Amino acid sequence: MRKTEADLKVKKEFQRYRDIFEDYLEASAGLRNSGVPEKLRESMDYSLFAGGKRLRPVLCLAAAERSGCVLKDALPLALGFEMLHTATLIHDDLPCMDNDDMRRGKPSNHAVFGETLAVLAGDALLALSLEFPLCHSKNVEPHKLLRAMQIFSSAIGPAGVCGGQVLDMDTAPAANDPDYVRKIAALKTGTLIRAAVTGGAALGTDDENFLSCCYEYGTHIGSAFQIIDDILDVSSTAEELGKTPGKDAEQGKITHVSVYGMEKAAKMAEVETMLAKNSILKILPEDDFLPQFTEYLLRRTH
């Protein structure tokens, strides 16, 4: 199959998962919003429906389906991953963090709802990201759901996403340490992408080899994703990107591009892509969506 054909096929499959996810996001409004104060609901929904690639839920659904889980039984967990991702974006944009007024091509949450509600919407989405799959995954076996939630929750706390954000806000002391940028990316972005794949798979199987291949795949695809993100922040336009480009350099953030330069960063993304593909080929055929997705991601422009 030629590259363009392969890309089209991957794109179509990604879109299929994404559509299923978007439908569920709409359909779950009653479940999500029961007992929630109106203003808080508005603020949460504003950011949940602000678009975004839905990378984490798609990876979660694809991995779950390949592990033997019925697709619809993985939807609450997939939504949990998107809720958590959205929560981190809301808090990352706050004046006391990256102070960014634009996100996904729209004013960021605090620019619309104010700082107080933005902090609370982030808190509420963080809590709900775990509550929702814990409470609504009725058809998943308890010990498998528990494992998936262990994987998910471990990715977001102080040794995961939150820890990564602390390092990201405090780059000064280690600006010349090439390991530092990799550590930030691993914690801040990588852990959640890896958890989406591995957590999704854990809903359907407790086979350690399957889960371990998903873990490796998630590690490398998460790493590739962040490197490509750093490259696009330099090379892309606001329109393509849906957020302010060049922000990293402006804020003096260390990124893969600032530390390694564009050429080496691109090479690193290729290596991570290859490693991701090799990991998942141990359990899935070459023409499957998950291995094919690695190279599709490498060629993305936004």
Q: Which residue, 22 or 123, has its beta carbon nearer to its own copies?
A: 123
Q: Which of 157, 81, 171, 174 is nearest to 125 (CA)?
A: 81
Q: Least separation, in Å, of the C-beta of 169 and its own copies?
A: 5
CB of 33 to its own copies, least distance (A): 8
Interface with its own copies (CB under 8 A): 33-37, 39-41, 44, 91, 94, 96-97, 114-117, 119-120, 122-128, 130-131, 134-135, 142-143, 145-146, 149-150, 153-154, 156-163, 165-167, 169-170
Give CA–CA dist 110/102, Å, rounded. Answer: 10
Instruction: Give 112 or 119: the residue with its C-beta nearer to its own copies.
Output: 119
| Residue 228 to residue 231: CA distance in whole angstroms | 5
Nearer to its own copies, 184 or 257 (CB): 184
CB of residue 239 to its own copies, shortest distance in Å: 30
Residue closer to its own copies by CB (options 169, 274) is: 169
Nearest approach, Cβ of 271 to its own copies (angstroms)? 24
Q: Which is nearer to its own copies, 122 or 200 (CB)?
A: 122
Token readout for 36 is 């929630």
DSSP alpha helices (H): ranges in the chain?
3-27, 29-33, 38-48, 55-66, 75-92, 109-113, 115-136, 142-156, 161-168, 178-185, 191-202, 208-235, 238-241, 247-250, 256-281, 289-298
Q: Which two tokens stand for residue 115?
A: 């700082």
CA atoms within 13 A on the CB side of 256: 23
The rounded distance, in Å, linking the Cα atoms of 91 and 233 is 20
Q: Among residues 199 and 245, whose Cβ is nearest to its own copies?
A: 199
